[in-house]
Amino acid sequence: MMKPTIIAIAGPSASGKTLFAQTIHDELVDELGENGISILYEDAYYRDQSHLTMAEREQTNYDHPDAFEHQLLNKHLSSLVNNETINSPVYCYKTHTRTNETREFTPTKIILVEGILLLSNIELRDRFDIKVYMDTPLDICLIRRIKRDLIERSRSVESVTNQYLETVRPMYYQFIEPSKAWADIVITRGGKNRMAIEVLKAKIRQLSKLPPQH
């Protein structure tokens, strides 16, 4: 099999990274066939915190690079580029730690990697063939995050807004926003930007036919 092409989709929390990646995946998966396209999540690489109490886990700054095991993600990306299967961790936002399960992840021609801090880490950055940044305004992200976290991550409005003020917003300005400078493509208006989806799909179709130039 040809060497996988790795595409990073970075940007602030609730900017539409997951929706954008999932839409591209779902619209291309049949066309690209078996081993065509898959999504890997940076969030899966949040550190295991099973040794901590729930109260301690709630104090973690989840928007600082130290919250992630980026070294393991980097190692896994290296394996995938060499066409080796990995076992990605599986993370639970409700318990703030990894589950006992892992996800067997077989390399595909195109691998979309999605996460807030992918472009802030130099080793990871070097792994990506295309770097995309979702440039959704922070107030829109906050509204979407409140709605999503209440439904999908078992949070209260108070916990989301406290976390936003204490860590999410400051870490955005310290790490995420500056990482936009490394992006090849900056996408406005979030995960439903149809033209951006079509442009990336066209590039992916082209890359799926050609061996990538590494």
Ligand X SMILES: Nc1ccn([C@@H]2O[C@H](COP(=O)(O)O)[C@@H](O)[C@H]2O)c(=O)n1
Amino acid at site 114: E
The 8-class DSSP code of residue 184 comes to S
Among candidates 121, 118, 144, 141, which has minimal Cα distance to 131? 118
19 binds, among ligand X, ligand ADP, none (CB under 5 to 8 A by kind): ligand ADP
Look up residue 94 and give its amino acid. Answer: K
**Is residue 196 a contact point for ligand ADP (CB under 6 A)?**
no
| Residue 186 binds ligand ADP, judged by CB under 6 A | no
Least Å distance between CB 164 and ligand X? Answer: 8
Q: Is 42 in the site for ligand ADP (CB under 6 A)?
A: no
Contacts of 27 (CB under 8 A, 6+ apart): 197, 201
Residues ≥6 apart with Cβ < 8 Å to 195: none
Nearer to ligand X, 76 or 145 (CB): 145
Q: In the set 15, 120, 163, 208, which binds ligand ADP (CB under 6 A)?
A: 15
63 binds, options ligand ADP, ligand X, none, Cβ within 5 to 8 A by partner type = ligand X
Q: How far is the CB of 56 from ligand X (least distance, A)?
A: 12
Please select the residue that binds ligand ADP; options are 14, 24, 28, 81, rule is CB under 6 A: 14
Q: Which does 16 bind (CB under 5 to 8 A by kind): ligand ADP, ligand X, none?
A: ligand ADP
| Residue 205: CB atoms within 10 Å | 13
Cα angle: 58, vertex 102, 59; to 5 degrees: 10
Residue 55 Cα to chain centre, angstroms? 26
| Footprint on this chain of ligand X (rule: CB under 6 A) | 13-14, 17-18, 43, 46, 62-63, 93, 96, 116, 168
Please report, for residues 23, 25, 107, 115, the alpha-carbon distance to residue 121 in angstroms, rounded to integers and kept in the order given: 26, 25, 22, 12
- Residue 93 interacts, among ligand ADP, ligand X, none and using kind-specific CB cut-offs from 5 to 8 Å, with ligand X
CA distances from 148 to 141, 157, 170 (A): 10, 11, 21
Under rule CB under 6 A, residue 179 binds ligand ADP: no
Q: Which CB atom, from 189 or from 203, has the smaller least distance to ligand ADP?
A: 189
Q: Which residue has the tokens 């880490």?
A: 121
Binding region for ligand ADP (CB under 6 A): 13-19, 144, 148, 190-192
